[in-house]
C-alpha cells in the first residue's frame, strides 16, 4: 500500500521518501529465501475480480507475468478427504441432506450478486450463514473455520466481511465447474520490484531498515518524522503500517481517535511453510473440519504455481489473547507434520526437505458488526497526517489488489490535504 501510494504521488510531481521497518519491501507479501527458493512468507493467490491489481500490472507492463490456473479445492471432514468447490462435489458430499445443499448453493448464488453490503454490515456472519444454510450445514462447513481464526471473537464477525470473501472466490471461475486462480510469475516480488524501480526512477527515496519512531506534530500540523533518533522534515505523512502501531507513533492524535483505533482487534498469524519432495494432495486449497486438527486449512501452493516439489502453507491465526499465541516454531512445525499423515496416509517424514515459520503480529483485522462506523477516517484531525491499513478495505478482506486501490486513494487524499494546507 505504501509503495502504491508513493508511486502515485511521485507521478503527480511530489517528492516522496518511503520508510520501511524491515530489510525487504513487501510487509505481508514479502518474500524470503527458503531452502534454495525465493518465495512469499505467506501464500498469495489472485482472483479474476482483482481489477485494481490488473490495472497496475498493465501500467507497469507486467500483464504477461500474470498466469491463471484451474485449481482444485478439498474438504477434510471427520477424517476423510472430499473434493470440493463445484456443484457435483456438493451434490455427492454425504454429510448434508439435499435441502441443505440447495440452500448452500442458493446462498453462494445470491452472495455473488450482492453489490450493497450496508445491510450485512449490521449482521453477524454466523447468524447470517445459519439463516441461509441452516445450523447443521453451518456447523459442518463453516464453524471450524471461524473458530480457528477468530476464537472468542467469532460471533462478532460481520456478515459483510465474509460475504465479500465468498463473492471474490465464487466469481473466480472459468465455468460453474472450474475454479480459476491467478499467480504472478516470480511471486508478489515481481510487482514489488517493479514498483520499487518506478519509485526510484521518479526520484523517490526508499529507506529500508528504517522504523519510524514518531510522527512529529506541532499545533495539530505534521512537521515530519523521527527515524533512528533523527528528525526529517515533511509537509505530509501517510502511514500504511498496521493501525495498532499508530497510537504509539502518533501520540498527538486526539484521545477519542486513539480509542477508536485501540478498539479494533486483530489476529496474528504464525504460518508454517514446508518444502516436500512429493505432492500432499492435488488441491490448492484444503479446508479442514476435524477436531483432531488445530488448523483450519492447508494451502498447497505448488498446485497453483507449478514447482518441481511441493510447497505447503499451514496458517495458525490467533488473537493475541490466545493462550498459545507464543507457541514455539518447533512445536508448530511438529504439530503440522503430525497432521499430514491424516490427510495423505502415504505421507512420510522423509518427504520433508525444509520447514520454517513466519509470523506477522497484526495479520487479520477482526471486522465486527457495524464496522463501517468503527473505521477511523483516512484523514485525521492532524493536518497532513493520513493513515490506513488492511482494515480500511472493509467490507473487502485483505488482498494485494485492495492494497493497490487504497494506496491510490491515499495519494488522492494526500494531494487534497496538502492543497488545503497551502490555502
Write out the residues near ligand FAD by the rule CB under 6 A.
1-2, 19-22, 27-29, 42-45, 211-212, 240-242, 245, 269, 271, 315, 360, 363, 390, 398-401, 403
**C-alpha 121 chain-centroid distance:** 19
Residue identified by cell 479446508 is 287
Phi then psi for 210, rounded to 5 degrees? Answer: -130, 75
Cell of 168: 471474490
Nearer to ligand FAD, 107 or 398 (CB): 398
Shortest Cβ 127–ligand FAD spacing (Å): 26
Shortest Cβ 99–ligand FAD spacing (Å): 33
Shortest Cβ 418–ligand FAD spacing (Å): 21
Nearer to ligand FAD, 130 or 397 (CB): 397
Nearer to ligand FAD, 1 or 340 (CB): 1
- The answer to whether 285 and 75 have CB atoms below 8 angstroms apart is no
- What are the beta bridge partners of residue 352? 276
Nearer to ligand FAD, 1 or 96 (CB): 1
- The answer to whether 153 and 193 have CB atoms below 8 angstroms apart is no
Helix axes 125-133, 159-170, angle to 10 degrees: 60
Distance of alpha carbon 213 from alpha carbon 121, whole angstroms: 35
Task: Count CB-CB contacts under 10 A for residue 164.
Answer: 22
Shortest Cβ 98–ligand FAD spacing (Å): 33
What per-residue string of b and e applies to 115-134 under the rule 16 or more CB within 10 Å gives b? eebeebbebbbbebbbebbb
Nearest-CB residue for ligand FAD = 27
Distance of alpha carbon 241 from alpha carbon 119, whole angstroms: 30
Q: How far is CA 5 from CA 12, 59, 63, 261, 360, in A?
A: 11, 15, 20, 22, 22
Nearer to ligand FAD, 17 or 335 (CB): 17
Phi then psi for 25, rounded to 5 degrees? Answer: -75, 150
Nearer to ligand FAD, 135 or 205 (CB): 205
Shortest Cβ 349–ligand FAD spacing (Å): 25
Nearer to ligand FAD, 159 or 195 (CB): 195
Distance of alpha carbon 90 from alpha carbon 196, whole angstroms: 44
Shortest Cβ 392–ligand FAD spacing (Å): 9
Helix (H, G, I), strand (E, B) or coil at 234: coil
Cell of 102: 440447495
- The answer to whether 281 and 84 have CB atoms below 8 angstroms apart is no
Shortest Cβ 101–ligand FAD spacing (Å): 27
Cα end-to-end distance, the chain, whole Å: 28
Shortest Cβ 237–ligand FAD spacing (Å): 11
Nearer to ligand FAD, 100 or 389 (CB): 389
Nearer to ligand FAD, 26 or 384 (CB): 26
Shortest Cβ 94–ligand FAD spacing (Å): 30
Amino acid at each position: 500500500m505504501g509503495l502504491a501510494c508513493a508511486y502515485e504521488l511521485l507521478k503527480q510531481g511530489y517528492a516522496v521518501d518511503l520508510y520501511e521497518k524491515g530489510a525487504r519491501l513487501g510487509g505481508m507479501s514479502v518474500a524470503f529465501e527458503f531452502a534454495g527458493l525465493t518465495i512469499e512468507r505467506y501464500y498469495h493467490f489472485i482472483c479474476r475480480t482483482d481489477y485494481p491489481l490488473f490495472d497496475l500490472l498493465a501500467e507497469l507492463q507486467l500483464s504477461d507475468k500474470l498466469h491463471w490456473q484451474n485449481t482444485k479445492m478439498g474438504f477434510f471432514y471427520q477424517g476423510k478427504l472430499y473434493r470440493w468447490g463445484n456443484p457435483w462435489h456438493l451434490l455427492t458430499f454425504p454429510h448434508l441432506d439435499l435441502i441443505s445443499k440447495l440452500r448452500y448453493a442458493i446462498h453462494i448464488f445470491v452472495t455473488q450478486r450482492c453489490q450493497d453490503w450496508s445491510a450485512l454490515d449490521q449482521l453477524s456472519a454466523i447468524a447470517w450463514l445459519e439463516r441461509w444454510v441452516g445450523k447443521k450445514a453451518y456447523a459442518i462447513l463453516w464453524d471450524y473455520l471461524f473458530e480457528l481464526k477468530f476464537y472468542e471473537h467469532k460471533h462478532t464477525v460481520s456478515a459483510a466481511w465474509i460475504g465479500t470473501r465468498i463473492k471474490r472466490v465464487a466469481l473466480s471461475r472459468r465455468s460453474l465447474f472450474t475454479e480459476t486462480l491467478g499467480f504472478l510469475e516470480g511471486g508478489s516480488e515481481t510487482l514489488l520490484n517493479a514498483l520499487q524501480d518506478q519509485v526510484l526512477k521518479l526520484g523517490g527515496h526508499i529507506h529500508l531498515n528504517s522504523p519510524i519512531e514518531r510522527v512529529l506534530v506541532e499545533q495539530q500540523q505534521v512537521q515530519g518524522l523521527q527515524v533512528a533518533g533523527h528528525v526529517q522534515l515533511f509537509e505530509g505523512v501517510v502511514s500504511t503500517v498496521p493501525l495498532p502501531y499508530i497510537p504509539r507513533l502518533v501520540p498527538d492524535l486526539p484521545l477519542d481517535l486513539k480509542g477508536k483505533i485501540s478498539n479494533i482487534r486483530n489476529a496474528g498469524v504464525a504460518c508454517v511453510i514446508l518444502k516436500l519432495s512429493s505432492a500432499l494432495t492435488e488441491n490448492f486449497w484444503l479446508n479442514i473440519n476435524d477436531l483432531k486438527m488445530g488448523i483450519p486449512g492447508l494451502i498447497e501452493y505448488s498446485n497453483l504455481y507449478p514447482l518441481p516439489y511441493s510447497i505447503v502453507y499451514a496458517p495458525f491465526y490467533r488473537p493475541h489473547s490466545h493462550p498459545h499465541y507464543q507457541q514455539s516454531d518447533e512445536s508448530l512445525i511438529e504439530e503440522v507434520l503430525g497432521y499430514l499423515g491424516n490427510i495423505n496416509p502415504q505421507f512420510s517424514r522423509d518427504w520433508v526437505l525444509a520447514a520454517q515459520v513466519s509470523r506477522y503480529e497484526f495479520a487479520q483485522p477482526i471486522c465486527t458488526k457495524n464496522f463501517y462506523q468503527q473505521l477511523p477516517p483516512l484523514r485525521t484531525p492532524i493536518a497532513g497526517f493520513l493513515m490506513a491499513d488492511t482494515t480500511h478495505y472493509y467490507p473487502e478482506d485483505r488482498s494485494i489488489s485492495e492494497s493497490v486501490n487504497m494506496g491510490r486513494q491515499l495519494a488522492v487524499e494526500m494531494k487534497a490535504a496538502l492543497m488545503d494546507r497551502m490555502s
